[in-house]
A and B are shown apart, each in its own frame.
Chain A
Amino acid sequence: MAAIAPQTLEEKPVAVESQSKSITLRISKFNPKTESNRNFVDFTIPYKKWTTVLDAILVVKENFDHSVGVRYSCRQSSCGSCGMKINGKPALACYTKISELNSNTITVEPMDNFPIIRDLVVSFERMFSAHKKLKPYIISEDSEITKDTKEFLQTPEDVEKYLQFSNCIKCGLCNSACPTMATDSSFIGPQALAQAYRYVADNRDKGKNDRLKIIDDSHGIWRCHFAGSCSKVCPKGVDPAMAIQLLRGYLLGFRK
């Protein structure tokens, strides 16, 4: 790892509001196609109370190094694109305020346990295929749009059984924090397991047995050791650790 000399906004004649506070933003730069090692490049960035890590990265892109690879879209923790390791922990860059990190140096790196595409961008291919494998949709013979447009009525209590799990934005932070994902390349992962529970808990769904069969595998649900790190980092309150243990309850016969 090599650190390149820091760059500051003052060195460039760009019109950015003068700020009293600033931090050093250390960005991991790495292109696996052309390089063999990661480099860290330092930038001095001014910030305000509400400046997010993503804002700071975009200042770098605008003023110093437009080649920094970063994925983002909504900038409001809704699309799940901007997950990265911020000071050693996976978090959404658009949801992490610099002022809350209590550090003069902020290091941003690509999330662990995902292949790096470039710089801060990782590939979600495996996570999405695990998600897809667990049939993330309602399985039912009935249909709302046929048979006299019959409605599927659910009480608020029925909805609460799966609502929090449907908050998942597929950001991958949970898979990045999971200690099993760190060593088992075939583990389904907390993201997909939580989604399996989301549909199993929905009383419109009839696919419980199909999904339980898929996760009852040597690299499936039994690999979770309830370290809880997935729930700790989840930015949407999904609580994958809870979903996984409740799901396991069905396989162990504690739940029907």
Chain B
Amino acid sequence: MEKQTNREGIKGWLNPTRYGIERFAYWLMRLTGLGLLAYFVAHIIETSTIVDGKDAWDKMLELTQTTEGHIILALVIGMSVFHTVNGIRVMLGQGGIGVGKPGRPDYPYNKPASLNNKHKLCIYASIGLAALAMLYGLQVMFGV
């Protein structure tokens, strides 16, 4: 079927390199969305250990106190911040806010108004804020 329709399929969105920072943000939004979903499921499993008593709960908590646990939590912080800030940008854009005004296009037509600097700036800001939040989280967790 894929061959007949020549659809790019899932690899179409797995490659973020071809269409600029906006496509990169789209890719990161999907990855962080999936990452947060995985965390959400893991979190439910983690907290449900409380029904097995205090020992089981403490043992599970110990897991989050390891180096690997701290790194995973730092990634969760980064994913949440990027997904939230970029999500606000996408939601505003999808309501037609900040996507530019229709006008007379000029040759060589390579500066679409919807891919404007405001959006690019927001994307860089979401990545920057996510990185800062991760660093802060790592600092708190590792106590350096």
Contacts and interface: CB of A to CB of B under 8 A. Distances in A.
Contacts of B109: 234-237
Nearest to A222: B94
Contact of A232 (B10, B19, B94, B95): B19
Interface stretch (A44-52, A65-73, A178-186): A178-186
A219 interface: no
B100 interface: yes
B99 A165 contact: no
A227 B6 contact: no
Contacts of B3: 32
Interface residues of A, number: 50
A241 B28 CA distance: 19
A122 interface: yes
Interface residues of B, number: 39
B114 A163 contact: no
Contacts of B100: 239, 242
A110 B6 CA distance: 9
B142 to A, nearest CB: 36
19 contacts: A164-B103, A167-B105, A181-B8, A182-B8, A227-B26, A228-B19, A228-B26, A229-B18, A229-B22, A232-B19, A232-B20, A237-B106, A237-B109, A237-B110, A245-B114, A249-B95, A249-B97, A252-B96, A254-B97
Q: Nearest 5 pairs between A and B by C-beta?
A: A182-B12, A237-B105, A249-B96, A237-B109, A228-B22
